[in-house]
């Protein structure tokens, strides 16, 4: 029986993994929740085996049921773990951190040196700018970003590897805001539109404060820049 994965956000995580050609892959899905993405990755052949990890026992029990339902007990290992704490590093080629804040993802990755040997698939729910900054500062090259409109929200899915010598972009405000996303698709345009609106609201609020007026002006200028880039693409 084949799992039908309908969550667009998780499907985009799978897509950005499948775009990176590798063989004999073993993925660690951190914060696996129901285990749907883990099962989908194994069933679709994107990876051969996986570790499904979660900090809480209840979602891990749910993942266990999902794995059992699709008969993948011999290919998916379930681990109760705070981040990567109990995840064995041996053989892990890919690490997925999806559905959590960008700050938390950065903290999880910062605790273990061995993550530098894996491909990172990251889907921050918030603070994508802070995650991009952490990746840049710590020598992780962002290979690709895919925008994803899922219901009312727009997300980014990042694929990165530790490769400080490959980094060919600067950590500018524009990079922190949209990374490698371009407004050349519907989801990409939506990402630019939402980010420009967020920056505009934050900038307008700051300009009302004497101490933050200059910073607010910078955010407004960045918002206008993103809007122009979007309009030029349309």
pLDDT in tens, 188-231: 999 999 999 999 999 998 988 878 889 989 999 999 999 999 99
Strand, coil or helix: 94? strand
Q: Residue 159 — very low, low, confident or very high, per pLDDT cuts 50/70/90?
A: very high
Mean pLDDT of the chain: 95
* Residue 31 neighbours by CB distance under 10 Å: 22
Q: What is the pLDDT of residue 174?
A: 97
Q: Which residue has the tokens 């029990």?
A: 61
- Rounded to an integer, what distance in angstroms lies between the CA atom of residue 66 and that of residue 64? 5
pLDDT of residue 234: 72
Q: Mean of the pLDDT values across residues 118-146?
A: 97
**By three-state DSSP, how is residue 88 classified?**
coil
Give the model's pLDDT for residue 121.
Answer: 97
Query: Over the stretch 163-186, which tens digit does the pLDDT of each residue have?
Result: 999 999 999 999 999 999 999 999
Instruction: Identify the pLDDT of residue 21.
Output: 65
User: Quick one: pLDDT band at residue 54, thresholds 50, 70, 90?
Assistant: very high
For residues 16-39, give the mean pLDDT. 89
Average pLDDT over residues 28-51: 96
Collapsing DSSP to helix, strand or coil, 196 comes out as helix
Predicted local confidence at residue 23, as pLDDT: 62
């Amino acid at each position: 029986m084949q799992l039908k994965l309908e969550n667009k956000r998780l499907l985009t995580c799978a897509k950005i993994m499948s775009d990176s050609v590798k063989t004999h892959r073993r993925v660690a899905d951190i914060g696996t929740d129901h285990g749907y993405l883990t099962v989908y990755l194994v069933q679709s052949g994107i990876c051969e085996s996986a570790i499904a990890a979660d900090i809480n026992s209840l979602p891990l029990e749910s993942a266990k049921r999902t794995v059992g339902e699709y008969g993948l007990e011999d290919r998916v290992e379930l681990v109760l773990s705070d981040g990567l704490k109990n995840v064995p590093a041996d053989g892990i080629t890919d690490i997925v951190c999806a559905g959590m804040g960008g700050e938390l993802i950065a903290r999880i990755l910062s605790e273990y040196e061995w993550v530098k040997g894996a491909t990172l698939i990251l889907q921050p729910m918030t603070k994508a700018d802070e995650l991009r900054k952490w990746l840049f500062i710590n020598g992780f090259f962002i290979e690709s970003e895919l925008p994803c409109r899922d219901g009312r929200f727009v997300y980014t899915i990042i694929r990165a590897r530790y490769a400080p010598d490959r980094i060919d972009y600067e950590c500018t405000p524009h990079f922190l805001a949209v990374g490698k996303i371009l407004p050349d698709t519907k989801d990409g345009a939506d990402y630019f539109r939402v980010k420009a609106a967020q920056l505009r609201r934050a900038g307008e609020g700051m300009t009302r404060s004497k101490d933050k007026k200059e910073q607010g002006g910078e955010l407004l200028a960045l918002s206008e820049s993103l809007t122009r880039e979007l309009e030029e693409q349309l």
